[in-house]
């Protein structure tokens, strides 16, 4: 199962269909309109520079629209009903846009011709696009059904639960590459030839074996140990699923099981595929605009920070971000130099470590502005749970093990927790704030992101950032 190849099939087919359909529509436009506007032959019309430009740009427009619809995000495991709905909605939006931007410039002899052109375009674009998509998807589903295409899974766990679950994995279309000792000290319940090694051997095993997913079937008795193991698996940048019973506290958020089996996808979130793509583009676009348009403000703040107290302009600190990956967060420095020599300390109200100008920056959240660079390079988003230091995460997961869900989305410059709760001065308050971020995780949408951004703007202009 090659995801790149499968995605390429959809993209190439969609592009060819859009090209052919636009050509057919231009033939209709010629017979209904263009031949009465000075084009003696259909060849003259099709070779007209505006028509040729459309023959190139219109198919590209369709690919961009299909990208934003999220159709290409998951090339395998598609639902044919969802595929039908996605194609219908996207084609409707696209045809309406093209009709009003391009086709409406035509001046037919009768208003009825507009209806002919519009519905001809819609029918051809939808019918041919969906039929080709259906054939590709159905071919993939048949391959999976006949066990010709299987998902290669490496199982982390070797105890009785892992051995018992082997049959259910086969029913779900998995091919078990092997089992890995999870370090829980369990007695192996799988055969020696199936046991490929320990967690220390994972990097070599992933190189030596074709692995599509990691499946964690823990034998640990404590959730804290399971979470620690889970975080270590994020490092490999593969989809991770975990088998849990529904009374497990790790089920704190609304996560999806697979075909009713408690195999939980822990490296995805509840955002729609279309929403993810739109959010990603908006993040990058706004980051570029802010970094360019507010560069004079950046320069002014940098001078004030530098002249206000001894030390660098920027404060950089390692935080844990998307899929548990560490990254360096950027802020304007608001504290005196060497304020964090005693280790990780949370900022308190009227904290003496904060400089006078730093207090102003915090009040209006201006110290966060350099994080737009983190957004631009893909480490952060405009909206998402605030990233924390590893030191505090280790403390949080002891009381709230479901914190791992926060790493299924990119951390944000602002968050629902920051808007509704604000800064947290203790670990317990961080856990209280976490409830808002869990609420965000369960209800992620572009509308909610916009709401949070509006609240954040209000906070900035009213100076209620502290």
Q: Are 134 and 8 in contact (CB under 8 A)?
A: no
Report the pLDDT value the prediction gives residue 133, as an integer from 0 to 100: 97
- Do 120 and 168 fall into the same domain? no
> What residues contact 226, with CB distance under 8 A and at least 6 apart?
216, 218, 220, 242, 250, 401
What tokens does 430 get?
Answer: 């961080």
* Nearest CA-CA partner of 255 in 64, 402, 461: 402
- Do 193 and 327 fall into the same domain? no
> In this structure, what DSSP letter does residue 330 have?
E
> How many domains does the structure of the chain reveal?
3
Alpha-carbon span 108 to 111, nearest angstrom: 7
Of 204, 232, 265, the residue at which a domain comes to its end is: 265
- Do 39 and 86 fall into the same domain? yes
Alpha-carbon span 304 to 266, nearest angstrom: 44
- Do 317 and 347 fall into the same domain? yes
- Do 280 and 260 fall into the same domain? no
* Nearest CA-CA partner of 220 in 206, 196, 199: 199
Alpha-carbon span 403 to 396, nearest angstrom: 7
- Do 312 and 438 fall into the same domain? yes
Whole domain around residue 42: which residue ranges?
3-145
Q: Are 249 and 401 in contact (CB under 8 A)?
A: yes
Report the pLDDT value the prediction gives residue 222, as an integer from 0 to 100: 66
Of 230, 265, 300, the residue at which a domain comes to its end is: 265
Of 265, 290, 324, the residue at which a domain comes to its end is: 265
The pTM of the full predicted model, rounded to 2 decimals, is: 0.83
In which residue are the tokens 């926060």 written? Answer: 406
- Do 384 and 359 fall into the same domain? yes
Average pLDDT of adjacent 10-residue blocks, the chain of 466 residues: 89 97 93 81 89 94 96 88 95 96 79 90 97 95 84 90 83 87 83 90 91 85 74 83 68 52 74 92 97 96 93 93 91 85 63 88 92 96 93 86 85 91 84 89 91 90 69
Supply the CATH number for residue 185's domain. 3.40.50.720
- Do 226 and 332 fall into the same domain? no
- Do 241 and 97 fall into the same domain? no
In which residue are the tokens 């995460």 written? Answer: 393
Report the pLDDT value the prediction gives residue 49, as an integer from 0 to 100: 87
């Amino acid at each position: 199962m090659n995801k790149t190849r499968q995605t390429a099939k959809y993209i190439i087919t969609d592009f060819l269909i859009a090209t052919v359909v636009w050509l057919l529509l231009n033939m209709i436009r010629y017979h209904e309109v263009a031949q009465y506007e000075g084009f003696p032959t259909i060849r003259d019309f099709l070779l007209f520079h505006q028509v040729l430009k459309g023959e190139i740009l219109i198919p590209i427009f369709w690919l961009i629209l299909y990208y934003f619809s999220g159709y290409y995000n998951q090339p395998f495991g598609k639902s044919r009903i969802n595929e039908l709905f996605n194609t219908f909605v996207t084609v409707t939006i696209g045809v309406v846009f093209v009709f009003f931007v391009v086709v409406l410039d035509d001046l037919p002899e009768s208003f009825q011709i507009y209806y002919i052109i519009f519905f001809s375009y819609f029918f051809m674009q939808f019918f041919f696009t969906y039929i080709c998509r259906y054939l590709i998807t159905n071919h993939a589903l048949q391959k999976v059904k006949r066990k010709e295409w299987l998902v290669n899974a490496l199982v982390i766990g070797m105890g009785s639960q892992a051995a018992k679950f082997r049959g259910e994995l086969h029913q779900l279309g998995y091919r078990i590459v092997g089992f890995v000792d999870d370090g829980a000290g369990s007695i192996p319940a799988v055969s020696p030839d199936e046991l490929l090694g320990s967690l220390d051997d994972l990097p070599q095993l992933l190189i030596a074996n074709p692995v599509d997913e990691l499946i964690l079937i823990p034998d640990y008795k404590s959730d804290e140990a399971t979470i620690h193991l889970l975080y270590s698996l994020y490092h490999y940048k593969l989809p991770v699923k975990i088998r849990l019973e529904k009374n497990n506290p790790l089920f704190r958020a609304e996560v999806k099981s697979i075909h009713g089996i408690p195999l939980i996808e822990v490296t995805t979130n509840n955002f729609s595929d279309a929403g993810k793509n739109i959010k990603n583009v908006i993040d990058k676009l706004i980051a570029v605009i802010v970094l360019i348009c507010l560069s004079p403000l950046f320069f002014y703040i940098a001078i004030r920070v530098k002249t206000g107290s001894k030390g660098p302009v920027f404060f950089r600190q390692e935080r844990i971000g998307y899929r548990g990956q560490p990254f360096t967060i950027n802020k304007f420095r608001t504290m005196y130099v060497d304020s964090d020599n005693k280790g990780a300390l949370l900022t308190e109200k009227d904290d003496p470590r904060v400089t006078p100008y730093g207090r102003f920056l915090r009040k209006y959240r201006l110290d966060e502005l350099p994080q737009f660079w983190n957004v631009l390079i893909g480490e952060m988003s405009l909206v998402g749970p605030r990233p924390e230091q590893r030191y505090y995460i280790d403390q949080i997961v002891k009381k709230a093990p479901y914190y791992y869900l926060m790493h299924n989305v990119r951390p944000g410059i602002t968050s629902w927790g920051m808007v509704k709760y604000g800064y947290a001065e203790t670990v317990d308050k961080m856990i209280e704030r976490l409830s808002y971020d869990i609420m965000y995780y369960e209800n992620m949408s572009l509308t909610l992101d916009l709401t949070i951004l509006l609240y954040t703007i209000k906070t900035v202009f009213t100076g209620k950032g502290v």
